[in-house]
Amino acid sequence: MALRMWASSTANALRLSTASRPHFSPLSRCFSSVVDGLKYANSHEWVKHEGAVATVGITDHAQDHLGEVVFVDLPDVGGSVTKATGFGAVESVKATSDINSPISGEIVEVNSKLSETPGLINSSPYEDGWMIKIKPSNPSELESLMGAKEYTKFCEEEDASH
């Protein structure tokens, strides 16, 4: 257990040094990656707030643990999402797994590419694998989410405890 935690700490140091770059790097594929500038929920979704719109997807940690995504069930544009409540699901291995929204708001766009290419969630979780775009109804909800360092530590502790 101690060796695993040491290795995990070293990996985290590596992750943070690569995560300081603004874009996701394929060089960091050895371990789950965390991107600076995003906010993170404890259910492993990320949100990127840019102006009036927030983009949501699942993290590299989540896609790695879920396995190959073969199907994505997403809501319709115009619907609403509520913080910490499910808005869709992914299918991987033999499981459907709920996806929860980190914030509340109105859905203004849905990634239609995911119906034909659900694997984008695995290969590009922070970019091409985005799921929905929201017009936030309460932007202050972002403040209660984790930053990159906090989320990295959260994942490390979660993996270490199992």
- The binding site for another protein (CB under 8 A) comprises 43, 65-67, 70-71, 73, 84, 86, 89, 91-98, 100, 158-159, 161-162
Question: Taking the complex as a whole, how short is the minimal distance between the CB of residue 135 and another protein, in angstroms?
Answer: 24
| Angle at alpha carbon of residue 120, lines to 115 and 125, rounded to 5° | 125
Question: Taking the complex as a whole, how short is the minimal distance between the CB of residue 37 and another protein, in angstroms?
Answer: 25
- Residue whose CB is less far from another protein, 37 or 59: 59
Question: Taking the complex as a whole, how short is the minimal distance between the CB of residue 42 and another protein, in angstroms?
Answer: 9
Is 74:111 a contact under the CB 8 Å cutoff? yes
Instruction: Report the DSSP pairing between strands 53-58 and 132-136.
Output: antiparallel
- Residue whose CB is less far from another protein, 43 or 124: 43
Instruction: Report the DSSP pairing between strands 86-92 and 105-110.
Output: unpaired
Listed in sequence order, the residues at least 6 apart from 28 whose beta carbon sits closer than 8 Å to its beta carbon are: 14, 15, 18, 19
- Residue whose CB is less far from another protein, 23 or 162: 162
